[in-house]
Amino acid sequence: MKRIQEFWYCVASQEELPLYKGHEISSSVCDNLLAFIEHYKEEVSKGKNLKTFLSEALIKKPSIINHLRLLLGISDKRLYLDLTFIFNRATTDNGERLLNESRENLVKHDTKFFINQLTNSDKKEHFSRLITDYFINRGIEDIIHIFSRMDKNQITSIFNNLIAPKEIQQKQAKYRGHGAEMAFAKIFHDCGVTIVPENKHINPMAGYDPNVDLTNMTIVPRNAANRNIHSFDLVVKDNEGNIRVLVQSLIHSSDPGQYGVNKSDETLEIKKLINNYNSRNSQKPVYLLGSVDGVGFCENPNGTIVKMIDVFDDFFQINTLFKIPIFLQKIGLIDNVKGIKFDTDFFDEHVIEYFEKTYLKPANIQNLTNSNCNFTNYIKAGKGTVIFK
């Protein structure tokens, strides 16, 4: 079996890729939306039109900008990029620019910035009117009118089945990647090696990916102009503090597009730099591990996964996380792995034999799939169980 065949055999579906849930939609969001609709119905009954209602509501409670966004199915990024463009060109009635920046210099502002302007700016009325116009031009009037004729149960059902899933879906590609990072970081941590970032197994978004100067294998500040410096999703050090393993994670549950092609090319460049370093430091070589997974790679396999799969010193997937301790033992960072029990519902017999010959035996690890012993020191790692001595 070739590496690429192993990859496709073990590839994870989108549902199998773990979804990091650090940013789930809170149930309070629906409650706030219901309260907003009720308030609108009350104000309309008093003769207030939608434009006036929204302008006043945005100043009174600026956070409703997110409620309106959800009703229209607009992502947070789409919202703040649209508003960034609008306000870069906006002026008051006397020609004064709303933002202290020129049209020749478009500066990104996130949603929190606009909420802050609605709260604290002495031009908050201008901000409110422009944001109101933005939502009205996007069709918010028809949507609010429809929702205002529904009862709370109907609105809640629509929120739970249509609005919330769409909001989550817009983030899933990113969060599935982070979920995979957290899963493999936990295996490294459970093996007892030193990892950077040190808390990635708890919160994969807690810190920046470490940037490594591949000429001397040191963690350095980001410098995009220096082609010897590259970022990695995880760095593993030995007991003396030397960098020994660099992990590059590429998870694509959908079409990787040009980004995937570029990252594949970067992998080739990274490996050349690592090889150059290792030629001068053969006593403490550095290894490149790939965390590669997802059916999206089949969109352009030759331009992505096929091109880099053999460049990695080794690779692992969500279903083969047990390969991590195998590799760590093979290179001498740990020495306490006794064996692996394979999930026979997932792996065919010939594939288990392939893993035993290719990975277990070179690391002096046993195939304990058919063992009846009651092991107590173990961890689950993908579709296998790692038995420690």
Please say which residue of 149, 168, 188 terminates a domain.
149
Q: Does some domain include residue 374?
A: yes
Q: Are residues 269 and 227 in the same domain?
A: yes
Same-domain status, 383 and 285? yes
What confidence tens digit (pLDDT) does each residue in 261-272 have? 787 889 999 999
CA dist., res. 120 & res. 206, Å (int): 30
Low-confidence ranges of the chain (pLDDT < 50): 23-24
**Are residues 211 and 308 both part of a single domain?**
yes
In a shared domain, residues 37 and 10: no
Residues 61, 203, single domain; the answer is: no
| Distance between CA atoms of residues 360 and 323, nearest Å | 9
Integer-rounded Cα radius of gyration of the chain:
26
Q: How many CA atoms lie within 13 A of 268 on its CB side?
A: 11
Question: Does a structural domain hold residue 20?
Answer: no
At 224 the pLDDT is: 85
Amino acid at 67: H
What is the distance between the alpha carbons of residues 266 and 245, in angstroms, rounded to a whole number? 17
Would you say residue 160 lies in a domain? no
Output the pLDDT for position 205. 72
Q: Are residues 218 and 256 in the same domain?
A: yes
166 lies in some domain: no
- Residue 32, token pair as written in the block: 């706030």
Strands 366-367 and 378-380: unpaired
Asked if residue 168 belongs to a domain, the reply is no
Secondary structure (DSSP) of 320-375: GTTHHHHHHHHTTS---EEEEEE-TTTS-HHHHHHHIIIIIGGGT-EE-TT-----
Q: Are residues 142 and 285 in the same domain?
A: no
Q: Examine residue 235 and state whether it is found in any structural domain, yes or no.
A: yes
pLDDT, position 38: 85
CA distance 173 to 252: 8
| pLDDT score, position 179 | 78
Same domain, 37 and 138: yes
Q: Which amino acid is at 141?
A: E
How many domains does the chain fold into?
A: 2
Range of the domain at 382: 3-14+176-388
Last residue of a domain, one of 132, 149, 166: 149
Residue 128, domain member (yes or no): yes
pLDDT at 175: 57
- The pLDDT score that the predictor gives to residue 43 is 85
Q: Indicate if 9 and 38 belong to the same structural domain.
A: no
Which residues, 6+ apart, have CB-to-CB distance to 315 below 8 Å? 3, 7, 289, 290, 291, 292, 309, 323
- Asked whether residue 22 is assigned to any structural domain, the reply reads no
Same domain for 142 and 182?
no
Are residues 327 and 285 both part of a single domain? yes
Q: In what order do the strands lie in the sheet with 366-367?
A: 366-367, 337-342, 384-388, 378-380
Residues 240 and 286 in one domain: yes
